[in-house]
Amino acid sequence: KAGVTQTPRYLIKTRGQQVTLSCSPISGHRSVSWYQQTPGQGLQFLFEYFSETQRNKGNFPGRFSGRQFSNSRSEMNVSTLELGDSALYLCASSPGDRGGVKNIQYFGAGTRLSVL
Protein backbone atom coordinates (compact mmCIF):
# COMPACT_ATOMS: atom_id res chain seq x y z
CA LYS A 1 0.00 0.00 0.00
CA ALA A 2 1.42 3.37 -0.99
CA GLY A 3 1.99 5.86 1.82
CA VAL A 4 0.99 9.49 2.09
CA THR A 5 2.46 11.55 -0.74
CA GLN A 6 3.06 15.27 -0.50
CA THR A 7 4.10 17.50 -3.39
CA PRO A 8 6.20 19.43 -3.90
CA ARG A 9 8.89 18.55 -1.35
CA TYR A 10 10.48 21.99 -1.42
CA LEU A 11 9.14 25.38 -2.36
CA ILE A 12 10.60 28.88 -2.35
CA LYS A 13 8.24 31.84 -2.59
CA THR A 14 8.42 35.56 -1.93
CA ARG A 15 6.31 37.62 0.43
CA GLY A 16 2.86 38.41 -0.90
CA GLN A 17 2.68 35.41 -3.21
CA GLN A 18 0.30 32.53 -2.74
CA VAL A 19 1.09 28.81 -2.68
CA THR A 20 -0.78 25.51 -3.05
CA LEU A 21 0.43 22.28 -1.49
CA SER A 22 -0.91 18.85 -2.37
CA CYS A 23 -1.47 15.68 -0.37
CA SER A 24 -2.50 12.22 -1.58
CA PRO A 25 -3.64 10.03 1.33
CA ILE A 26 -3.29 6.30 1.80
CA SER A 27 -5.84 4.45 -0.31
CA GLY A 28 -9.09 4.03 1.61
CA HIS A 29 -8.39 6.85 4.07
CA ARG A 30 -11.02 9.56 4.05
CA SER A 31 -9.50 11.96 6.58
CA VAL A 32 -6.64 14.33 5.76
CA SER A 33 -5.16 16.67 8.35
CA TRP A 34 -2.64 19.46 7.83
CA TYR A 35 0.00 20.59 10.31
CA GLN A 36 2.63 23.31 10.41
CA GLN A 37 5.94 22.50 12.06
CA THR A 38 8.29 25.26 13.12
CA PRO A 39 11.26 25.02 15.50
CA GLY A 40 10.06 25.07 19.12
CA GLN A 41 6.37 25.03 18.18
CA GLY A 42 5.82 21.37 17.55
CA LEU A 43 3.05 20.33 15.21
CA GLN A 44 0.46 23.08 14.98
CA PHE A 45 -2.87 21.79 13.69
CA LEU A 46 -4.28 23.68 10.71
CA PHE A 47 -7.41 21.78 9.70
CA GLU A 48 -8.85 18.38 8.97
CA TYR A 49 -11.01 17.29 6.07
CA PHE A 50 -13.23 14.24 6.05
CA SER A 51 -15.31 13.22 3.03
CA GLU A 52 -14.74 16.62 1.37
CA THR A 53 -15.92 18.60 4.42
CA GLN A 54 -13.81 20.51 6.89
CA ARG A 55 -14.45 18.71 10.18
CA ASN A 56 -11.90 20.35 12.49
CA LYS A 57 -10.06 23.64 12.38
CA GLY A 58 -7.07 25.04 14.26
CA ASN A 59 -6.28 28.64 15.14
CA PHE A 60 -4.72 29.90 11.95
CA PRO A 61 -5.74 33.04 10.04
CA GLY A 62 -8.04 32.89 7.04
CA ARG A 63 -5.04 33.13 4.69
CA PHE A 64 -4.71 29.39 5.28
CA SER A 65 -7.37 27.37 3.53
CA GLY A 66 -7.84 23.88 2.24
CA ARG A 67 -10.09 21.58 0.35
CA GLN A 68 -10.58 17.90 -0.27
CA PHE A 69 -11.63 16.21 -3.46
CA SER A 70 -13.90 13.24 -3.98
CA ASN A 71 -10.87 10.91 -4.24
CA SER A 72 -9.77 12.16 -0.77
CA ARG A 73 -6.77 14.04 -2.16
CA SER A 74 -6.36 17.36 -0.41
CA GLU A 75 -4.82 20.72 -1.16
CA MET A 76 -3.77 23.49 1.19
CA ASN A 77 -3.51 27.09 0.04
CA VAL A 78 -1.75 29.97 1.71
CA SER A 79 -2.44 33.41 0.30
CA THR A 80 -0.43 36.60 0.82
CA LEU A 81 2.60 34.78 2.17
CA GLU A 82 4.48 36.23 5.13
CA LEU A 83 8.04 35.51 6.26
CA GLY A 84 6.64 33.72 9.32
CA ASP A 85 4.91 31.17 7.10
CA SER A 86 8.28 29.53 6.42
CA ALA A 87 7.87 26.06 7.87
CA LEU A 88 7.52 22.37 7.18
CA TYR A 89 3.92 21.58 6.24
CA LEU A 90 2.87 18.04 6.99
CA CYS A 91 -0.21 16.18 5.98
CA ALA A 92 -1.53 13.07 7.66
CA SER A 93 -4.22 10.64 6.61
CA SER A 94 -6.36 8.25 8.62
CA PRO A 95 -9.56 6.25 8.09
CA GLY A 96 -11.39 9.07 9.85
CA ASP A 97 -14.39 7.09 11.03
CA ARG A 98 -12.97 4.73 13.63
CA GLY A 99 -12.12 5.09 17.26
CA GLY A 100 -8.82 5.04 19.03
CA VAL A 101 -5.93 3.03 17.69
CA LYS A 102 -7.85 2.16 14.51
CA ASN A 103 -7.71 5.81 13.51
CA ILE A 104 -3.93 6.29 13.65
CA GLN A 105 -2.65 9.13 11.50
CA TYR A 106 0.05 8.38 8.94
CA PHE A 107 2.20 11.26 7.81
CA GLY A 108 3.75 12.29 4.54
CA ALA A 109 7.34 13.54 4.34
CA GLY A 110 6.17 17.15 4.23
CA THR A 111 6.65 20.21 2.06
CA ARG A 112 9.38 22.60 3.15
CA LEU A 113 8.21 26.14 2.36
CA SER A 114 10.66 29.02 2.45
CA VAL A 115 9.30 32.55 2.16
CA LEU A 116 11.86 35.19 1.17
Q: What is the DSSP letter of 25?
A: P
CA atoms within 13 A of residue 113's CA, in its CB half-sphere: 29
The whole-angstrom separation of Cα 59 and Cα 61 is 7
**Interface with other proteins (CB under 8 A):** 4, 6, 31, 33, 35, 40-43, 45, 48, 50, 55-56, 90, 92, 96-97, 99-101, 103-110
- In angstroms, give the least distance from the CB of 72 to other proteins: 15
- Residue 65 C-beta: closest distance to other proteins, Å: 19
Q: Closer to other proteins at the Cβ: 4 or 19?
A: 4
